[in-house]
């Protein structure tokens, strides 16, 4: 009788690697890395992306003014929104580094350069870091009080 890991590897037409020894690894491959890494609650995940999308509106508007050469004026007239844009850039950098760390770990486990025990432990650490960073971002959002921000100030042509 074949193990689940062996049958998963054969069904996908590849050799068995360290990741196949982790229960549920087939689902990880099917649903994608971001689903596994998002071991956080669906509520946290949904709330994070909702707030992130709201902040992206400011980035898009800033980029329109930047393309027209008015970024300095827009930033001067909308300082609170610029703080939010800067925070969003910092968030993107942190989440990108967490993602790179996760991808490197998976490659190491696939190449059998990282053991199952170490990989499992590090996957948990990475998931914790991601969740912590998402919560920190949501704390920042609470400081941005949307009602006080109002609509962005227009910049003269």
> What is the pLDDT tens value at each position of the chain, 157 positions in all?
555 455 544 544 555 656 566 665 655 554 445 444 444 578 888 888 888 888 888 899 999 999 999 989 988 988 888 888 888 899 999 999 999 999 999 889 888 898 888 888 898 899 889 999 998 988 888 777 655 555 556 656 5
pLDDT at 100: 94
Where would I find the beta strands (DSSP E) of 70-133? none
Query: What is the C-alpha separation between 60 and 23, in angstroms, rounded?
Result: 42
Query: Per-domain residue ranges for the chain?
Result: 41-145
Gyration radius of the chain over CA positions? 21
Q: Write out the two tokens for 2.
A: 């074949």
Q: Write out the two tokens for 17.
A: 């690697």
pLDDT at 142: 78
Q: Is residue 62 exposed (0-12), middle (13-18) or buried (19+ Cβ within 10 Å)? A: buried
- Mapped onto helix, strand or coil, the DSSP state of residue 147 is helix
pLDDT at 34: 42
pLDDT at 14: 52
pLDDT at 38: 45
Query: What is the C-alpha separation between 34 and 63, in angstroms, rounded?
Result: 28
pLDDT at 20: 63
pLDDT at 37: 47
Residue 23 Cα distances to 2, 26, 59, 96, 138, angstroms: 15, 8, 41, 27, 32
- Residue-wise burial string across 7-21, b where 16 or more C-beta atoms lie within 10 A, e elsewhere: ebbeeeeeebebbbb
3-state helix, strand, coil in the chain (%, to 5): 75, 0, 25
Nearest to 81, CA basis, from 64, 99, 106, 103? 64
């Amino acid at each position: 009788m074949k193990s689940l890991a062996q049958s998963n590897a054969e069904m996908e037409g590849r050799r068995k690697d360290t990741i196949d020894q982790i229960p549920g690894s087939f689902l990880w491959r099917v649903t994608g890395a971001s689903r596994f890494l998002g071991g956080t609650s669906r509520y946290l995940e949904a709330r994070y992306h909702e707030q992130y999308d709201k902040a992206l509106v400011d980035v898009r508007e800033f980029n329109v003014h930047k393309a027209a050469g008015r970024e300095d004026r827009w930033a001067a007239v909308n300082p609170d929104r610029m703080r939010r844009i800067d925070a969003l850039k910092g968030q993107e950098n942190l989440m990108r580094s967490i993602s790179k760390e996760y991808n490197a770990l998976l490659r190491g486990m696939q190449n059998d350069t990282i053991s199952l025990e170490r990989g499992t432990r590090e996957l948990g650490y990475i998931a914790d870091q991601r969740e912590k960073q998402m919560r920190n971002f949501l704390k920042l959002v609470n400081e941005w009080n949307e009602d006080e921000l109002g609509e962005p100030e227009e910049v003269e042509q």
